[in-house]
Homo-oligomer: A and B are copies of this chain.
Amino acid sequence: MLARASAHTQVLTTGFRAPSAASRPSAPASAAESLAEALGLMGAAMPFARNTEIYGEGEPADYLYKLTRGAVRTYKLLDDGRRQIGAFYLPGDVFGLEIGAEHRFAAEAIVDSTVVVVKRTAVMTLADRQYEVARELWAMTARELAQAQNLTLTLGRKNAQERVAAFLLEMAGRSSDRATVELPMSRHDIADHLGLTTETVSRTLTQLENAAAIVLPTSRRVVLRNRAALERLNT
């Protein structure tokens, strides 16, 4: 990512002003809870086209990212091309936060997206001064940990139906409309997140529709018709 690296630098040196928004009294709830929001004011918005890389695995983690439009996947590859998608990010989510020097996953835009790019040193400087910021960075890592640990249970011990049900419920929990899920990602992406194949994801969604648990108005829109049935699969 050579061209993009310089693009980062450029927008950041012109656009970055460290407004220290987390300390403003007008911030919502607590200062800590607003860190994700404050990050949106600390960096510069950058567009990424569909299927383009935001950063690669092993690259220096000099920035963190807040998604404001679109959708992002993070993933690891085995050398023969097998892929594990660690997480999907939706608008409002922060990703790319590392404590080490390098990104442990690669990140790509799933659809055309806009990302606010924030220099890590700026955030760390803030954390040095304000305990609430340091605490919130820790909390972000802890939330990612909880999510990764839940995924290990899904991948280690659930069958295809249970995996897909868990995925739909998780996506529903993150959407504004609790009952309708818009899927920005392909069946292949879902498969690579759930440790399945495209065909199995497709078949399983069809099964769930036949069982009246969901409706598929289009392939990228899922209506949860019988949430209890899905939750029964989820435990």
Among B78, B141, B153, B195, which residue has its beta carbon within 8 angstroms of that of A141?
B141
Q: List 29 A-B contacts (CB under 8 A).
A: A76-B153, A78-B153, A78-B157, A79-B235, A82-B158, A83-B157, A84-B156, A86-B149, A99-B138, A99-B142, A104-B149, A105-B149, A131-B134, A134-B134, A137-B138, A141-B141, A141-B145, A145-B145, A148-B148, A148-B149, A148-B152, A152-B152, A152-B155, A155-B155, A155-B156, A155-B195, A156-B193, A156-B195, A157-B195
The answer to whether A157 and B99 have CB atoms under 8 Å apart is: no
A135 to B100, CA, bound (A): 12
Which residue of chain B has its CB nearest to the CB of A79? B235
Q: Count of chain A residues with Cβ under 8 Å from any Cβ of B?
A: 38
Oligomeric state, in copies? 2
A99 to B152, CA, bound (A): 19
Q: If A134-B138, A142-B100 touch, does A194 touch B148 (CB 8 Å cutoff)?
A: no
Q: Is the interface of A mostly helix, strand, loop or mixed?
A: helix
User: Top 6 closest A-B pairs, CB basis?
Assistant: A156-B195, A155-B155, A148-B148, A99-B142, A138-B138, A145-B145
A138 to B82, CA, bound (A): 31
Q: Does any Cβ of B come within 8 Å of A146's Cβ?
A: yes
Chain A residues 118-143 with CB under 8 Å of chain B are 128, 131, 134-135, 137-139, 141-142
A83: nearest chain-B partner, CB-CB: B157
Chain B residues with CB under 8 Å of A235's CB are 78-79
